[in-house]
Structure 1
Amino acid sequence: MEPKIESKAWNHEIESAILKKWQDDDAYRFEISDKPAFVIDTPPPYPSGKPWHMGAAAHYAQIDMIARTARMSGKNVLFPIGIDRNGLPVEIYTEKKYKVRMRQMDRQKFLDLCKGALDDLEAEMLQIMKNMGLSGDFAHYYRTDSDEYRALTQATFIDLWNRGLVYLANRPNNYCPDCGTTIADAEIIYDDLPTKLVHMKFRVAGTDENIIIASTRPELLFACQAVVVNPDDERYLDYQNKSVILPIFGREVPIKMHHSAKPEFGSGAVMVCSYGDQNDVQVFRELQLKEIVALSENGITTEAAGAYAGLRINQARTRIIEDLKAAGLVEKEESIMHRTPLCERSKTPIEIIPLHDYYVKQLEYVPQLRELAMKLKFHPEMHRQILLNWLDSVAIDWPVSRRRFYGTEIPIWYCNSCKTPLLPKPGKYYRPWKEKPPFDTCSKCGGKEFTGEDRTFDTWMDSSISPLYVTKFRSDDKLHNYAYPASVRPQAKDIIRTWLHYTMLRCVQLTGKMPWSDAWIMGYGVDEKGEKMSKSKGNVIDPFPIIQKYGADTFRFWAASEANLGYDFRCSEQRIAGAQKFLSKLWNVGRFLSSFDIVREKPAKLEASDEWILAELARLVQECKRGYDEYNFFVPANAIRDFTWNVFAAHYIEMVKGRAYEDRPGHASALYTLHRVFSTLLLLLAPITPFIAEELWTKMYSEKSVHLQELPAAGAETGMAKFTKAISDFNSQVWNKKKETVSPETGKPLSLKDPIDIPVPDDLTPFAADLVSMHNLTRK
């Protein structure tokens, strides 16, 4: 009998033809139906000019597995595809690509360059996503910099403003001199960096006595407004109402008692400057000190620094330390590692500068968000704690204004007469920096002249409304009511404190509802040594040459079988090549079985061997269902591979070959069972390896796509699985015996086809006929 599948090996190049058929058939369209909606709040990737990280590609492959699983579970799936095109990485990439500086050229020309650069990167990214087999809605993919998306961002801001949830305030705020903008607490990371701890001599006013103060920020001496000591520190009990003279600058500042001073650090006395760190901010507020603006928005010391004005931070630090030493005002200097707050994007140390910014209220929502966070279902559960820890640490409202160019503009004009901020009606995309306002007079004073706001929003203001945008919030009420809240938010663990938190905040503020019921959190892709990949280490693996070499299904099966949900996973070409072996095995099994006729109706009587493998299959379906229900594809991928390779192919197929080939009692039972098992395997594998499952399914079982079928239901017929170990042990015993036995005719070990005199154990009597046939046993 010739197999219906002619190709002797799985050729991943066929994936492109299958992909084109899916596109031509519009196989993954979404429209309102009587099925329950299943909406994935897909993370829109950032086309920043860098190749996708191996871990990110694995992440999106598994998001597609979520979509395919839901579709095969009877859900109406909306798997939106978006591209995140706002913010700093776009600007940095454009500056490097065109060798320009954003703030040194016309704003519109720079924005045009950004858009052109993004268009090229976007086309490449979309093609990569398609080649990976993502079953998303590419026909309606969205961009976060489109007029429609930005109009919605602005509309939600106007809504919050009208409800009193946005305000303008001048506060000390995190500032990145390199990025030239305010950043939120959630955009800060910390790293231990080498620095100098300088022990300086502060003279107590009216005496010859010195207090030694150790600081890593001597360059802010001129902005010092107090020295604080702990009220329980016995060394300073007599210093109440005294003051000190600042070294070099000669200005007198008071000594204050404050619990933030730690007696065990340095001398126990701390200088409080505006602003060295967040502790300074808190102490200034509590002691009602008058701030000195130490740094400009360019990270340059202000005129308040006197002889040290106009210097960058490092320059000012070097010169002041040199002058302190020359004046004999340094007791000692230590080299230490200091936990330093860095801008998440530029990786440069942040500064704290008083600036006017717009804030979205979040502090008053923290208790509600914490309560809702406990109801959100996390996959895996352990990552809930990241969100709870972040909510517990939120200390200020969210500053949302940014001094950048490529982003959604803040929709505000200011009256030139009374300076009142005026907002338009929501509904269209506004660019106040270049457009006239949609009103003629100031509603407060009647003024006729206006100045448009030139700042943009924090990019998370756009990203945080993704579940609202994809469900047509405010543009299609019928669809929104059908599709919102979304079903699942898939994302990486490092942006729980930003994307997940801000989306919860904004959607609760705007709709009163949580944006989704489930959060699916993936770990990091790491190298073979377990180290996080980075360009500086030279251990980043570009996944797409790998996909071109081995195919999307091989990459996807590796991603599923390697990455246990929520945990970091190791990436290497060797591991991916190993995944290809399973697809080869699956293809070989399918090609072999395609030579046998399909018996679709279950025979009245099944042989014991057939009942046994169907019991093992029922156990497999149960295990796969558990993994699919938890969105943990590590479970079904490894269970299917183990069953296919080590049970179905290694034992069952060999046991029933005789009955399958020969038209004798049990023939129909064998054919029915072989195809029942293999067709079930293809259905179970379809979400993970969609291409090979489609090719084998349509060649062997139906012209209708495997992805339009339903996942198998878990059966209860597992009793015969109790024989699995005994069958496996007996088969291994026979195979080993044949290897150990030398044939008198050939002088070589017996082949697997040679007869051998081994009895079938009594407990395997129901399988005796198949075992005798399989091993060519001379006695039963």
Structure 2
Amino acid sequence: MALDFHEMERKWQLYWEKNNVHKFDRKSKKPVYSIDTPPPTVSGTMHMGHAFAFTQQDFIARYKKMAGFEVFHPFGFDNNGLATALMVEKKKGVKQKNFGREEFIKIVLEETAEEEKKMLAAFKGIGLSVDWSLLYRTIDKPARKIAQYSFLDLHKQGRLYQREAPTMWCPSCATAIAQAELQDREEESSFCYIDFETTDGGKIGIATTRPELMPACVAIHVHPDDKRYKKFVGKEVKIPFSGGRTVKVFENRDVDPEFGTGAVYHCTFGDLDDVEWILETNLPVIEIIDKDGTFNEKAGILQGLRTLDARKKMIEELKKSGHLVKQEPIKHVVNVHERCKTPIEILTSKQWFVKYLDLREEYIARAAELEWVPEYMKKRLDNWINGLKWDWNISRQRHYGIPFPVWYCKKCGEALIAGEKELPVDPIKDKPKKKCKCGSTEFEGEKDTLDTWFTSSLTPQINCKWQEDKAFFKKMFPMDLRPQGHDIIALWAFNTIVKALFHERKLPWKTITINGWALDQHGKKMSKSLGNVVRPEEMLQKYCADALRYWAGLPVLGEDVPFMEKEMVSGKKFITKIMNASRFVEIVTKGVKEGGVDKKALEPEDRAVLSKLNRLVKESTEAFDKYEFSKALNPVRNFFWLEFADFYIEEVKTRAYNKKDKSGKAAAAVLQHVLWNCLLMLAPFLPHTTEEIAQTSFKKRLKGKSIHLEQWPKADEKFIDEKAEKLGESINAAIAAMRKEKTSAGKPMNTEVKKAVVFSGEELKQGLATIQRTMNVKEIELKKGEELKVELEF
């Protein structure tokens, strides 16, 4: 009866959980190895990127457990903040603005609870060695308390400030966002060349991709060395369709004389240059776009329109009035919100900020103390830090999320920060425990919520129970490993480092591993709009979890990897090969006592396979210690398939059946020994398959409840013998040549050969008995030959 892989995998997943195989033991005397796992955003589905990344980090967790560590491997869900709320809005077809705060929060919480169940089942289905009792959620009470405590601590340090300032704003999500949440997107647009009239009858031209911001123009800037515009400096320029409003021409060294016309019109706000120039001057701010993305009464003829319609109308009006000189098609990069892909605007609003621009050099220096795998990913963090222009805006104008622990006095407007013992607090529902400095007891709670990343950047503190269990925190912090994707180095890695340095004056972990993306078969990012999404649940159903894990173990860490279904096919074939070889070994070694290998009774093929095995153990261990798990999987697979299954098993088959003599016992012992050690080395990659074999074929050898609680194999140097390996390779080559000859002659492999002549070097003499036995040869002769060649007589 064929094995049902899906049933087998479910069986062992339930077994591991029921028997606490992966449960973290706080009282263990073993050294701790802790993993700061990335909490996926609750979306109801585990995508292929999740399966790829979480499986790769699981390789490390399983290896470390077998290497003698007490592994702390928690799991969390990021169900707090904007991403979660947007997912619910999209799925339910609702908008926050149509609901009251409490009603909207209820809708999100109910929906995410259902979505989380699906995701939890999916993550368990890929065989993660997680301690599921450590499951946390970033919206739950412990996380809320830690996030709010972080706010209090940063406030005490003087790292928080609130001000009315230009802010990056997403019109679609109706909230402020941080610089780290921007994405660059190339768009086709039009470069508009526009002539302005000066009050004395002259003309000065500008070029812009955003003519709709004309009503917000506050100045024209030219480079002081640009002779073309010397005569215009200080003059007044009329703004079209503004009722006669004029602005002045200024000199500005930031202007690029080679770009466009060399003159720039300064609007509030088109880009970051506009913001910086406003901060450097006393020019007025004219805001023509409201928080919902529509143009207001200050926009004049554009009132009530949204950006693209406003642009179209302005171009039409400029054409009619004769101000538009020409248009040129252009491809340029625009900043969009990474969550919804809407182009951002820069609007003035009151927000809370974390001050961190002053320590950029320290962040770079301290981050260099971490072990980065791969090392080149550190450069991405450095580039991000060097490009930072804004402090971290942590306010979000959303109902759903972790509230600020802040009230405002209705009498004097002073902000009142909650006390530590009040946390977690909801300032909309809860009242402060003290009066305002002015004596008033009338307060209004802060309506904004904290940026999702303000909490997500505290996952080490959440996992290590910061402020909740000080002894545990002292033992666990900093953590050992942060595994994550390269796409969130700026959002997650950077902010986690910053928070740990602010709160603990320490780095949050010792090592950070960066995984790549799972791409489609053509190397493109998977996207619903492109129709190239491969769903892991479909692959799991078609193949099995261990086949998917096999695929995830093949690439080098950090690489973006195309998903090739043929690798799933290869994985399933490899698993089948392991199962079949294991069944044979179990049958042929039945009755043989498991134990050590008698070195004196070994034949050449035994010495060769044992030497290669021990060399492989050494290399596999070194690879895992460097987080190079692909260098652990690929050689073990090749050894098992090409050396052990294809050759060694065939070479010792007849010997192993004859268990009465020492040679037969030695063959059986080596079969068991090699298979067992291969299973141990494959256990991190194929946990279900190896558990099934261990529990059926090696039950007596198991010291604990699972193969995953066994000790990682150690290389025995006394078995490593290069001379034996070379002889073994020559034996295998001769056998391969004879197989080829039998196939060419149309003979089955078990056909008796009357006589075989082998042309090779004298060293093969010691292996003739093995060749003769394996290929059913009656008489065998060795003749000297420069190149290996065989002649068979049937």
Indicate the TM-score class for this superposition, using the shorter chain for normalisation: over 0.9
Provide the residue aligned with 1:3 in structure 2.
none
Corresponding position: 1:426 with 2:409: no
8 Å Cα contact 1:619/1:718 also seen in 2: no
Mapping 1:147-226, distance limit 5 Å = 147-207=141-201, 209-226=202-219
- In structure 2, the residue matched to 1:270 is 264
| Maintained 8 Å contact 1:111/1:406 | yes
Q: Which of 660-669 and 272-281 deviates more?
A: 660-669
Query: Cα RMSD (Å) of the superposition?
Result: 1.7
- Larger deviation, residues 692-701 vs 413-422: 692-701
Quick one: which amino acid aligns to residue 727 of structure 2? F
Aligned to 1:461: 454
8 A Cα contact 1:226 1:254, kept in partner: yes
Alignment of 1:754-769 (within 5 A): 754-755=752-753, 756-759=755-758, 761=760, 762-769=762-769
1:37 to 32, 35, 43: 32
Which runs of 5 or more structure 1 residues have no equivalent in the other structure?
1-6, 743-747
Q: Deviations over 1:501-539 (max 9, x none)?
A: 000001111111111011111111111111111011000
The TM-score normalised by the length of structure 1 is: 0.95
Moved more, 716-725 or 511-520: 716-725
Post-superposition Cα deviations, 1:649-701, rounded to whole Å, max 9, x if no partner, equal: 11211221221122334112211211111000000011111111111112222
SS of residue in 2 equivalent to 1:342: strand
Pairing of 1:92-103 with structure 2 (within 5 A)? 92-103=86-97
1:727 to 711, 726, 731: 731
Q: 2:80 aligns with which of 86, 103, 114?
A: 86
Return the alpha-carbon distance in structure 1 between the equivalents of residues 675 and 449 of structure 2. Answer: 56
Match among 558, 578, 584 for residue 586 of structure 1 = 578
CA–CA separation in structure 1 for the residues paired with 2:153 and 2:431: 18
**In the alignment, structure 1 residue 653 sits paired with structure 2 residue 657:** no
Query: Residue 547 of structure 2 contacts residue 571 of structure 2 at CA under 8 Å; is this kept in 1?
Result: yes
Aligned to 2:791: none
Residue 734 of structure 1 aligns with an amino acid whose one-letter code is M
Give the counterpart letter for 1:148 in structure 2: P
Residue 557 of structure 1 is matched in structure 2 by: 550
- Asked whether the 8 Å contact 1:153–1:461 carries over to 2, the reply is yes
Q: What residue is the counterpart of 1:745 in the other structure?
A: none
Letter in 2 for 1:603: D
Q: What is aligned with 2:691?
A: 694
The letter of the residue matching 1:758 is V
Contact kept, 8 Å, 1:13 with 1:551, in 2: the verdict is no
The farther-off stretch of 612-621 and 656-665 is 656-665
Residues 356-398 of structure 1, C-alpha deviations (whole Å, 9 max, x = no match): 1101111122222101111111111121111111111112210
Query: Shift of residue 733 of structure 1?
Result: 1.7
Aligned to 1:610: 606
Worse-matched range after superposition: 99-108 or 35-44: 99-108
Q: Post-superposition shift, 1:315?
A: 2.5
Tell me if structure 2 keeps the 8 A contact 1:523–1:568: yes
Aligned to 2:358: 364
| Aligned residue identity for 1:737 | E
Is the 2:428–2:444 Cα contact (8 Å) retained in structure 1?
no
Shift of 1:9: 5.0
Give the corresponding residue for 2:520. Answer: 527
Shift of 1:274: 0.6
Q: Would the aligned equivalents of 1:734 and 1:758 in 2 still touch at CA under 8 Å? A: no
Amino acid in the other structure paired with 1:636: A
Equivalence for 2:788: none
Asked if the contact 2:73–2:130 (Cα under 8 Å) also holds between the matched residues in 1, the reply is yes
Q: 2-side partners of 1:559 and 1:598: how far apart?
A: 37
Quick check: 1:682–1:693 contact (8 Å CA) kept in 2? yes
SS at match of 2:552: helix
1:334 maps to 328
Q: Hey, what does 2:408 align to over in structure 1?
A: 414
Post-superposition offset of 1:645: 0.9
The 8 Å contact of residues 164 and 351 in structure 2, kept in 1 or not, is answered as yes
CA distance in 2 between partners of 1:180 and 1:239 (Å): 40
Moved more, 625-634 or 449-458: 625-634
Worse overlay, 36-45 or 228-237 = 228-237
- Partner SS state of residue 346, structure 1: coil
- Residue deviations 1:463-519 (CA, integer Å, cap 9, x gap): 000011101111111111111111110111000010010000011111111110111
- Please say if residues 188 and 344 of structure 1, whose CA atoms lie closer than 8 Å, have aligned partners that are also in contact: yes
Equivalent residue for 1:4? Answer: none
Q: Distance in 1 between matches of 2:688 and 2:776?
A: 38
Indicate which of 673, 678, 688 corresponds to 1:676.
Answer: 673
Deviation at 1:295, TM superposition (A): 1.6
CA positional deviation for 1:110: 1.1
Q: Secondary structure at the match of 1:90?
A: helix
Measured in 2, the distance between the counterparts of 1:572 and 1:602 equals 41
Cα distance change on mapping 1:535 and 1:592 into 2, 3 Å: same
1:62-81 deviations in Å (ceiling 9; x for gaps) = 22211111111111111101
Is it true that 1:482 corresponds to 2:475 in the alignment? Answer: yes
C-alpha deviation, 1:738, in angstroms: 2.3
Corresponding residue for 1:449?
A: 442
1:241 counterpart = 2:199:
no
- Aligned residues with identical type, % of pairs: 35
Residues in 2 aligned to 1:110 and 1:429: alpha-carbon distance in whole angstroms: 23
Q: Which residue of 1 aligns with 2:300?
A: 306
Among 727, 732, 740, the alignment partner of 1:736 is 740
Instruction: Give the counterpart letter for 2:346 in structure 1.
Output: I
From the superposition, tell whether residues 304 and 11 of structure 1 become closer, same or farther in structure 2 (CA, over 3 Å): closer
Secondary structure of 1:259's aligned partner? coil
- 1:568 is matched by which residue type in structure 2? D
Match of 1:710 in 2: 711
Assess if the C-alpha contact under 8 Å between 2:731 and 2:770 holds in 1. Answer: no
User: Taking structure 1 as reference, are residues 769 and 259 closer, same or farther at Cα in structure 2, changes over 3 Å only?
Assistant: same
Residue 632, structure 1, aligned to residue 628, structure 2: yes
More displaced stretch, 349-358 vs 241-250: 241-250
Instruction: Tell me which of 225, 239, 251 is aligned to 1:232.
Output: 225
Higher relative contact order by CA 8 Å / sep ≥ 6: 1 or 2? Answer: 1
**TM-aligned CA deviation for residue 408 of structure 1:** 0.4
Q: 1:151 to 1:735 in 2, by over 3 A?
A: same
In the TM superposition, what is the alpha-carbon distance from 1:714 to its structure 2 partner?
2.8
Give the match for residue 499 of structure 2. 506
Q: Quote the residue 2:369 is aligned against.
A: 375
Alignment pair present for 1:256 and 2:250: yes
Instruction: Give the structure 2 partner of residue 294 of structure 1.
Output: 288
Decide whether aligned partners of structure 1 residues 428 and 586 sit closer, same or farther in structure 2, where only a CA change above 3 A counts: farther
Q: Which amino acid is the alignment partner of residue 45 of structure 1?
A: P
Supply the AA of the counterpart residue of 2:732.
S
The change in CA–CA distance for 1:25 and 1:430 in structure 2 (over 3 A counts) is: closer
Query: Per-residue deviation at 1:140?
Result: 2.9
Distance, in Å, in 1 between the alignment partners of 2:63 and 2:359 is: 35
Offset at 1:611? Answer: 1.1
Q: Write the distance in 2 (CA, Å) between the matches of 1:273 and 1:167.
A: 26
CA distance in 1, matches of 2:737, 2:565: 36
8 Å contact 2:195–2:206 — kept in the other structure? yes
Note if 1:401 corresponds to 2:399: no
Deviation at 1:715, TM superposition (A): 3.3
Aligned 8 A contact 1:201 1:247 in 2: no
Farther-moved stretch of structure 1 (365-374 vs 727-736): 727-736
Q: Is the 8 A contact 2:731 2:771 kept in 1?
A: no
Q: In the aligned structure 1, how far is the partner of 2:93 from the partner of 2:772?
A: 77
**Corresponding position of 2:792:** none
Contact 2:428/2:446, CA 8 A, preserved across alignment: no
Determine whether 1:19 maps to 2:13.
yes
Deviations 1:179-206 (A, max 9, x none): 1111111100011112221111111231
Structure-1 separation of matches of 2:50 and 2:3: 29
Equivalent-residue separation in structure 2 for 1:650 and 1:753 (angstroms): 18
